[in-house]
Amino acid sequence: MIKSLDPRVNRAAIAEENTIEPLKDLDQWETYEVFHQKRRGDQHMHVGIVHAPNAEMALIFGKEQFGRRGLSVNIWVVKTRDVFTTDYEDSDIFETVPEKQYREAGGYKVMDKINKFKKGL
């Protein structure tokens, strides 16, 4: 038996050679992606994952792992396998030619016309 300074370990009466079967695949369940909202009015943000056997427990776990210091008011969880993502390899799809002022506020300069019009009056 292991003789420990930790009374909990002594109570568990652990043999020194306690070889165990290796953990099998999925022993730790699958993963859920956790999103939290810091304050009402904020967007939900991805904060990490939890391993859980079902959605209720993912919520129970996510609440404590990511919200135990009162930093969240709301939590969402979704199975990792249900999330669709773009590939970083394709991140060039987010790049675009800069000549697209037509959809930026700065692309509209009416004062020039107004001033010219006023001068001409």
Partner 1 sequence: MYGNAYIDPNDKAAMMTAGEDPQKLAEFEARIARGEKIEPKDWMPKEYRKQLVRMIEQHGHSEIIGALPEGTWITRAPGFKRKLALMAKVQDEVGHAQLLYSAAETLGKSREAMINDLITGKSKYSNVFNYPAYTWADACIIAWLIDAGAIINQVANAKGSYGPYCRALDRICTEESFHLKYGHDNVVTLATGTPKQRELVQAALTRWWPPIMHFFGPSDKISNHTEILMKWKVKMATNDDMRQQFLNMYVPKIWDLGLVIPDPNLKKNDEGKWEYTEPDWEEFKRVINGGGPCNAERLAVRRNAEERGRWVREALNTADAKYIVPLA
Partner 2 sequence: MNTEAIKELLYKMADDLLIIGHRNSEWTGLGPILEEDISFSSMAQDKIGQAQALYVLLNDLGEQEPDTVAFTRNANQFHNAQLLELPNGEYDFSLMRHFLYDHADQLRFETLANSSYEPLAKVARKVKGELKYHVFHANTWVVKLGSANEESHAKMQNALNYAWNYALGMFEPSAHEDILVAENVFIGEESLQERWLANITPILMKAGLSIPTSDTWNPVFGGRKGMHTEHLAPLVEEMSEVFRYDPTAEW
Which positions lie near partner 1, rule CB under 8 A?
2, 4-9, 12, 14-16, 18-20, 22-31, 33, 46, 48-51, 53-54, 57, 65, 80-81, 83, 85, 87-89
Nearer to partner 1, 1 or 73 (CB): 1
At its nearest, how many Å lie between partner 2 and the CB of residue 29? 8
Which of 63, 76, 78, 79 forms a contact with partner 2 (CB under 8 A)? 63
Q: Residue 63 binds which one of partner 2, partner 1, none, with CB within 5 to 8 A depending on kind?
A: partner 2
Question: Which of partner 2, partner 1, none does residue 31 bind (CB under 5 to 8 Å by kind)?
Answer: partner 1
Contact 35, 46 (CB under 8 A): yes
Taking alpha carbons only, the member of 72, 82, 101, 70 closest to residue 33 is 82
> Is residue 37 a contact partner of residue 15, using CB atoms and an 8 Å limit?
no
Interaction between residue 53 and partner 2 (CB under 8 A): yes
> Does 48 sit near partner 2 (CB under 8 A)?
no
At closest approach, how far in Å is the CB of 103 from partner 2? Answer: 44
Amino acid at 27: D
Token readout for 10 is 């002594």
Q: Would you list the DSSP string of 64-102? A: HHHHTTS--SEEEEEEGGG-----GGGGGGG---S--GG
